[in-house]
Amino acid sequence: MHILFMIIIILSIAIFAYTYLKERSLVEAISVALLPFLMFLYPLLTAPSASGEPSGSSASGASTGGSSSSTSSSTTGTAAPASSESASESEAGTDGPVEPPPADELSSLADIQYTDFQVGNPENQFYRINGAITDFLGNTYTDGIILSTRYNATLEADTRVRNDPDGATLLVTYSLDGQYSELSAKIVLPQSIDIAGLSVNEIAMTSYAIPENDTAVDVLFYGDGNLLGRAVNVSNTMPYDFKADVSDVSNLTVKVVSKDKPLGKWTYNYTALTDPVLR
């Protein structure tokens, strides 16, 4: 509309200039120049308004204004339920599924630094599973710890933890500070290991590695010196699911007790606590 109006103005100016230069009187020139304006304005002045009345009537304009006010008020009144519905939908959205508990309410024992580590044989080691291990059933684990032990019955005094009443070949203690209520884990004697700092399998093995991981072990769990539970005769073909109540436990101790072999032979074990979750 604005572009059309500008075109008419320019056209009128051109007609005015042309007529005036033709030595017509000023009145004639203006009259000729106004013709495009009249042609443009006439349809607008005579077009019916939205209410069916000419827009040029001031009385009907006042009436239309009153009608508009009434319509506006009516529109506002009908908009309220929509707003109420939106609020209802918003409130319904807050009643959705409950959010899962924060991640810090679940902890892996592997992420907690131990406070005590005792061994009978100085070659016994502690590893975190930064990689993957596989058990003899083909299951793979990527979280947990591995307790490596070497034991010889003829050298019992040198290969068991000194003065330990359970004859542990290795023990590790963690400070829980009474923050958890339950420990769950799977005890596994792995077939192959591929983690940071340790990579062994059943093919390229020395005589003391994984192929010798065929002797069952006992794993004991203590809380502040009290026995919480034990896994007895855990073998490489039977992973053991373990669960213990650790409510109000300040210090958790895990012990590995190796089994005897015929005199003169070494027992080598990699005992893994996989997916050890504290709740």
**HEC string for 59-99:** HHHHHHHHHHHHHHHHHHHHHHHHHHHHHHHHHHHCCCCCC
Distance CA 177, CA 174 (A): 9
Residues 261, 143 within the same domain: yes
pLDDT for 110:
94
| pLDDT recorded at residue 236 | 78
Residue 50 resides in a domain:
no
120 in the same domain as 39:
no
| pLDDT recorded at residue 178 | 95
Q: Are residues 127 and 200 in the same domain?
A: yes
Averages of pLDDT over runs of 10 residues in the chain (279 residues) are 66 62 60 62 57 42 39 38 39 44 71 95 93 91 94 84 94 96 94 84 42 74 97 85 96 92 77 95
**pLDDT at residue 235, as a whole number:** 83
Distance from the Cα of residue 185 to its chain's centroid: 23
Total count of domains within the chain: 2
Say which residue the tokens 């606590």 belong to.
273
Q: How far apart are CA 63 and CA 276, in angstroms?
A: 81
Domain span at residue 226 reads 108-278
Same-domain status, 40 and 138: no
From the list 230, 209, 218, the residue with the least C-alpha distance to 258 is 218
Co-location of 9 and 134 in the same domain: no
Domain with residue 199: its CATH number is 2.60.120.1060
Answer whether residue 81 is part of any domain: no
User: Would 91 be classed as within a structural domain?
Assistant: no
Q: What is the pLDDT of residues 231-240, one digit of tens each?
A: 998 887 778 9
Residues 41 and 116 in one domain: no
Q: What is the pLDDT of residue 230?
A: 94
Q: Which is nearest to 125 in space by CA: 115, 133, 117? A: 117
Is residue 173 in some structural domain?
yes
Could you tell me if residue 87 is inside a domain? no
* Domain presence at residue 18: yes
Alpha-carbon gap, residue 230 to 64, rounded angstroms: 90
Tell whether 32 and 115 lie within a shared domain: no
The answer as to whether 80 is a domain residue is no
Strands ordered across the beta sheet of 170-175: 114-119, 170-175, 251-258, 217-223, 226-234
Asked whether residue 27 falls in the same domain as residue 158, the answer is no
Q: Is 140 inside a domain boundary?
A: yes
Check if the beta carbon of residue 213 is closer than 8 Å to that of residue 267.
no
**Residues 272 and 150 grouped into a single domain:** yes
Q: Do 16 and 139 lie in a common domain?
A: no
Looking at the structure, tell me whether residues 125 and 254 fall in a common domain.
yes
Q: Which pLDDT score is estimated for 97? A: 46
For 89, other C-beta atoms within 10 Å of its C-beta total 9
- Give the per-residue pLDDT at 216: 81
- Please check whether residues 158 and 270 belong to one and the same domain: yes
Closest to 233 (Cα-Cα) out of 209, 257, 254: 257
Cβ proximity of 115 and 174 under 8 Å? yes
Residue 217: closest CA among 168, 174, 262, 266? 168
- Per-residue pLDDT reduced to its tens digit, 126-164: 999 999 999 888 999 999 999 999 888 888 788 899 999
Beta-carbon neighbour count of residue 278 at 10 Å?
Answer: 21
Tell me the Ramachandran region of residue 253: left when phi exceeds 0, alpha when psi lies from -120 to 50, beta otherwise. beta
